[in-house]
Structure 1
C-alpha cells in the first residue's frame, strides 16, 4: 500500500502536485485584471482632465499595487513549468511586455528629490511675486482680478507638478519609447502566431496551467494595450515639446549635457564625510575612498542613463519630425486662412481676444528654457476651460434664493434667527456655525402646515445646492477646529432632512400634516428639541459639565439650536397678528437667503486658500478645483459685488456667523440709543456695510 502522495507501487505521483496550477493561473488573471482596471481609470482621468502625461493616481506605488504586480507577473519568473504551445508562449511574452508597461506607468509617480526641492523653492518665489502683482491691482471687477490670479496660480502649479516634470524628462521619453516598442513586438508576435502559423514551430504537449493560459493571455494583452496609452502619449508630447528646437543642428550639442539636478544628491553624498567611529586613520581613509569610488560609479551610471535617454529622444524626434512638420504646416495654413476670413472683424474684438503673458510664472528646470513659451501657450487656456465648465453648472436655484437676500441692509436676517429674549437651556451658549442655523431653519420650514410642496421642494433644492459651499467656507475658515462638532451636527441633521424629511426621529412631513397651525408645529418642534436636549444632557452630564459648549455631543448641539430658533420664531410671530404659514415661509426664506449671502462673502477667501494650502503633489488638482468653484460661483460673487456698497465695506471682514450677529446687535443697540436723524442715518449706513473678502 502506497503512502500519502504515492501510487500503489510507492512511487511519488507528480501529477497531483500540478492539479492546483490552473487555479494559480486564475489568480494571475485576476491580479492582471485589477492592474488593467487601475491603468484604465488613470487613462480615462488623464484624457478627461486634459492631462496628456497621465499621472498615476489609482495605479501607483503602494503595498496593494506591489502585491498585485507580484502575482500578475508570475509567468515571467516561472522557470520550472514548461510552456510548449503557441498561446502559452504568447502568455509568457505578454507577461514580459506587461512588466515593461507597469515599470513605465509607475515611473511617473517617482521623481528626482532635487527637482522637487528646487521647484518648491521656485514656487514660493513666484507666489510672492504673484501676490505683489495682485495686490497692486485694485481696480476692475473682482471676478476679473480673481480670474487673473487663478491663471497665474494654475501656470505655477501645473508646470511644477512632479509628475508633469518627470513626464517631460528624457528618461520618461525613453521609457515610453521602449514601452511602445515592447507592445508592438507583442502585437507582431500575436498576429504572426494566429494569422501566419507556418512561421513558427512549437513543441507538442500541454502546460500545467492548461486552459488558464488563454485567460491570462487575453487579460494581460488587454492590460498591455491600455497601459501603453499613457507612455505613448508621454513620448509623443515630449517629442512635440522638443521637435521645434531640433531643427537647428547646434541644439543637438546641448542635448548631450547632463544637468546638475540629475547628480546633485549623489555629489553631496560623495563629498560629505562618513560618520563612522573608526580610530585608525588608514581605515577611515580606506572607507572614505571606497565610498567615493562607489558613488563615482553611481554618478557615471546615472549620467550614462540620462545620456542614453536623450539619445533615444533624439532618435524618436528624427523619426517623427517629418510627420510633425507636416502637421505644423497644415495648422499654419489653417490659421492663416482663419485670419483672412476674420479680417473683417472689428479692431475692438481683436483687442478683446488678447491673452496675458504668463511666461514669468512658468516653473522650469535647467535645460528647459526653450520650453517656457510652449508650455505657456499649451496651458494658458486651461483656467478658462475649467471656469467655463463651472459656469455651465451654476446653481440656478441657489442664485434665485440669494436674489431675495437683504444685501443692502447688511443681511439683517443673520441677526434675527436667534433672540436673546429666549431663555437659555444652559448658562453658556454654544457657538453657531454657518451650516447649523441654515439646516435648522430649513427643517422648520419643512414642518409648517398648509404649504405647497413645490415651495418647500425649491427651498430644499436651493439649500442643497448651497450646502457644499457653506461647508467649504467653514472648513477653510475654522483654522482652530473649534466648530468641528457643530459642523458635524449640521451635516447629520441635513442628511436626515434631505433624504428622509426627518429631524432625527421626528417626521417633519407627518408633523406638517397633523399640525393645525404654524404655532402648533413650532411649539411641537421646540418641545421636542427641549426634551431631547434634557435627555441627552442627563445622559452625557459629565461631558456637558467639563467640556466647552462647542464640544458637546452632536445631538445636544442640534437640539439646542432647534429649541432656540423655534422659540425665537414663536416670539417674533407672537408680536403681530399675521401668523399664516405662507407669510412665515417667506420670512424663513429671507433669513436663509441672508445666512447664505453673508456666508458667501467669504468664497473669494476659500478660492485663494485652495490655491496655496496644499502639497506640491496636490496643488495642481487644488487650483483646478478652485477654478471650477470660481466658475460655479462667479455669478454669486458678481451679484454680491453689484448690490454691496463696496467703497463703504467694513474692513473687519467678518468670517464667522457670530461676528455678523454681534454686529447686528450693536447696530440695534445704537438705533435705540440715538434719537437724532443724523444718528439714525449713521446707524443705517453701518448696518448696510458688507464685507466681501478680497485678497
Structure 2
C-alpha cells in the first residue's frame, strides 16, 4: 500500500497510475480472502484487528482522494481516474461487509456449539464402540466420519465462508479484478504516446505492477469459487421459497447488536440524567447500526439471488440444469448418508451433496495417509503376545521395596526398562536389538498418546518424563543412566550377572537419593527426580526377572530375550486397547476453534492404528470364545 498513500510523489506515468490501481485492487482481494479467518478469532482479537484494518483502509481512501485533488491540474490526469475511484469505493464496501460478517461470529459460534453438543449426545447414544465385536473398527471409522462432518460443517471459518456476505465479497473481488484487467488493457492502447513511468520509483514500478497483478489473479480464485459454488447451488433451489422467505433476515445477523443495545453502560456515570442521555444515545447509534446491518444482509441476499439467476441462465445455454440437479442428488448413492450430521445456522440452506461428499472424501484421505504410515515393526511385535500376562509378570509383589511408598507406573516406563534390559543381554545380535528398538519406538508413539489423553489429572507426568529421559539415552546412545549397555564393564558373562549389575546400580541410585535428600521429597514418589524413578523401576524389574530365574531352569540369553520381548508385547497390547477411546476422545473433546485440527489428528491416528486395533479385536474375541468354552466345559463336568 506504499503507492496509494504516498502524497509526496506526483505519479504521471501510465504504469504509475496502473500500479496505484493494482495496489487498491490487491487490498480488496486480500480482505476477501481474509474474511473466513474471522471465525478463528476471539471477540477482543477480532475487534482490534477490524479497528486497525478500518483505520488503515480509511487512511488509504483519504490519501487517494487527496492525491486525485492534487493532480487535477496536470495534463492527462484522468487516464485511470474512474478505476481509482471505483477501486477505492469497492475497498470501502469490502471493509463494511467484513464488519457485518464479524458481528455474527459470536452468535454463530454459540449456536453451532449448542447444536454440536446435541448432535454429540445423539452420536454417543447411537454408536457404542467396544471390544468383542467383529465390527468395532468399522463402527469406529463411521463414528470418526460423523464427527468429521460435524467438525467441518460447524467450523467457524466454514460458517463464515458460506455466508451471503462472503459470497458478495467474491462478487466484489471479481469486479475489482476486472477493473484492473480493463485498466491494464485500455490504458496502454488508448494512451500510446504517454510515458510509461514518470516518478521517483522509476524501474521498480514495473515490478510492483507485475507482482501485484499476479497477487490479484491468484487471490481472486478462492473468493470466486465460493461465489460460483453458492450461485450454482442456489440456482437449483430457485422457486422453492417464497419471496418473503428469500429475504428474511435471520436473528443471528442482529442478535449481537441488539445485545449491545439493551445491555447496561460499561462506564460508571453518577448523574442519573446524564446516564440516561448516554444510554439513549447508545441505543440510537446501535439502532442505526442494526438498520445498516439489515440493509447489508438484504443487499447480499439480493446479490446471491441475481447471481443464481445469472448462473442458471448461463448453465441453461450449455447444459440441462435438470441433469445437474439429478447428478448432484445422486452423489451419495451407494454410500452412507451423513447429511443429518451437518451443522447449519438458523434458516441456512443445506449443503450440496457434492460439498458433503468432498468433506467425507477429505477424512478418507486423512485415514489413508495414516494407513501409509502403519507401524510394521510394532505389528510384528504384537503378534508375539498371546495374552496380557506380561502386565502382571514384570513386577512381582515379592520384591522388597526400597522406600515405604512405591511410585505408580505408567505404560511407557516398564516398556522402556524392559527394552533396556533386553538390549544389555550378552550374546544378542545387533539385528535383534535394532528390530526390538524400532518396534518399541513405534509402540511408544501410541503409548504416550494414550497416556497423555487418558490421564486427566496429570499425576503421572513425572513418571512419563522418566520414561522419556531413559528412552532418549537408550534409542540414541544405547545407554541407561549414562551407563553404556554395550560395554564389557556392564555386560556380564551371563545374563544373570548383567541383571545383577543393573540391579545394583539402580539400588545404589535410589539409596543415595534417600540419604542425601530431605524427608519431604523422599516420602512422595511423585516428587522424585526422573533418574531415581527410572532406577526404582529398573531395580524392581531386574529383581523380578532374577526371582523368576530361580524357579525356572537356567535360560540361555536368546530365550530370555524372547521372553522379555513377549512381556513388552503384552504390556503394549494392553496399553493399545485404549486406542479407540483416545480416537473418540480426540473427536469431540476440544474447543470449537481447535476441533478441526483435533479431528485431523484423530483421522490420521485411526489410519495408523487400524491394523493394530483389528489384531487386538481378534485377540479379545478369541479370549471371549475361550472363556465361554471353559464355562461350558465346567457346566458339563458339574
Cα distance between partner residues in 1 of 2:247 and 2:404:
76
Cα distance between partner residues in 2 of 1:464 and 1:354:
41
1:292–1:569: structure 2 CA closer, same or farther, 3 Å change rule? same
SS in 2 for 1:127: helix
Cα distance between partner residues in 2 of 1:334 and 1:119:
28
Give the aligned partner of residue 497 of structure 1: 474
Cα distance between partner residues in 1 of 2:500 and 2:446:
32
Q: Is the 8 A contact 1:447 1:512 kept in 2?
A: no
Give the Å deviation of 1:518.
2.5
Give the aligned partner of residue 238 of structure 1: 230
Give the Å deviation of 1:615.
0.5
Cα distance between partner residues in 1 of 2:349 and 2:279:
38
1:162 aligns with 2:156: yes
Cα distance between partner residues in 1 of 2:139 and 2:3:
58
Give the aligned partner of residue 22 of structure 1: none
1:192–1:489: structure 2 CA closer, same or farther, 3 Å change rule? farther
* Aligned residue-pair number: 562
SS in 2 for 1:110: helix
Q: TM-score, normalization: structure 2?
A: 0.78
Q: Could you say what the CA RMSD is over the residues aligned between the two structures, in angstroms?
A: 3.7
Cα distance between partner residues in 1 of 2:576 and 2:429:
28
1:293–1:686: structure 2 CA closer, same or farther, 3 Å change rule? farther
1:309 aligns with 2:300: yes
Cα distance between partner residues in 2 of 1:625 and 1:558:
31
Cα distance between partner residues in 2 of 1:292 and 1:441:
71
Structure 2 residue aligned with 1:129, among 111, 122, 137?
A: 122
Cα distance between partner residues in 1 of 2:178 and 2:402:
75
Give the aligned partner of residue 415 of structure 1: 392
Q: What per-residue deviation string (whole Å, max 9, x for no partner) do you get for residues 369-410 of structure 1?
A: 444766545434444443344334322221111111122xxx
SS in 2 for 1:125: helix
Give the Å deviation of 1:465.
1.6
Structure-to-structure mapping, 1:183-582, within 5 angstroms: 183-187=177-181, 189=183, 196=188, 199=191, 207-209=199-201, 213=205, 216-217=208-209, 219-246=211-238, 248=239, 254-272=245-263, 274=265, 283-321=274-312, 354-371=334-351, 376-407=356-387, 411-510=388-487, 515-534=492-511, 541=518, 544-545=521-522, 548-582=524-558
Q: What per-residue deviation string (whole Å, max 9, x for no partner) do you get for residues 138-169 of structure 1?
A: 97621222223223222222211111111100
Q: Is the 8 A contact 1:241 1:374 kept in 2?
A: no
Cα distance between partner residues in 2 of 1:263 and 1:210:
50
1:82–1:441: structure 2 CA closer, same or farther, 3 Å change rule? farther
Q: What per-residue deviation string (whole Å, max 9, x for no partner) do you get for residues 17-72 of structure 1?
A: xxxxxxxxxxxxxxxxxxxxxxxxxxxxxxxxxxxxxxxxxxxxxxxxxxxxxxxx
1:231–1:290: structure 2 CA closer, same or farther, 3 Å change rule? same
1:218–1:498: structure 2 CA closer, same or farther, 3 Å change rule? farther
Q: Is the 8 A contact 1:394 1:633 kept in 2?
A: yes
1:314–1:584: structure 2 CA closer, same or farther, 3 Å change rule? same
Q: What per-residue deviation string (whole Å, max 9, x for no partner) do you get for residues 254-296 of structure 1?
A: 4322221101121233334557766776555543432222111
Q: TM-score, normalization: structure 1?
A: 0.72
Cα distance between partner residues in 2 of 1:285 and 1:302:
25
Give the Å deviation of 1:253.
5.3
Cα distance between partner residues in 1 of 2:376 and 2:318:
43
Cα distance between partner residues in 2 of 1:516 and 1:326:
88
Cα distance between partner residues in 2 of 1:534 and 1:595:
28
SS in 1 for 2:590: coil
Give the Å deviation of 1:618.
1.6
Give the aligned partner of residue 592 of structure 1: 568
Give the Å deviation of 1:185.
3.8
Give the aligned partner of residue 5 of structure 2: 77
Give the Å deviation of 1:607.
1.3
SS in 2 for 1:419: coil
1:684–1:295: structure 2 CA closer, same or farther, 3 Å change rule? closer
Q: Is the 8 A contact 1:395 1:632 kept in 2?
A: yes
1:89–1:399: structure 2 CA closer, same or farther, 3 Å change rule? same
Cα distance between partner residues in 2 of 1:466 and 1:687:
32
SS in 2 for 1:644: helix
Give the Å deviation of 1:136.
11
Cα distance between partner residues in 2 of 1:533 and 1:189:
80
1:127–1:367: structure 2 CA closer, same or farther, 3 Å change rule? same
Identify which of structures 1 and 2 has the higher relative contact order when contacts are C-alpha pairs closer than 8 Å and 6+ apart: 2
1:218–1:537: structure 2 CA closer, same or farther, 3 Å change rule? farther
SS in 2 for 1:258: coil
Structure 2: gaps (5+ residues): 40-104, 632-638
Q: Is the 8 A contact 1:152 1:358 kept in 2?
A: yes
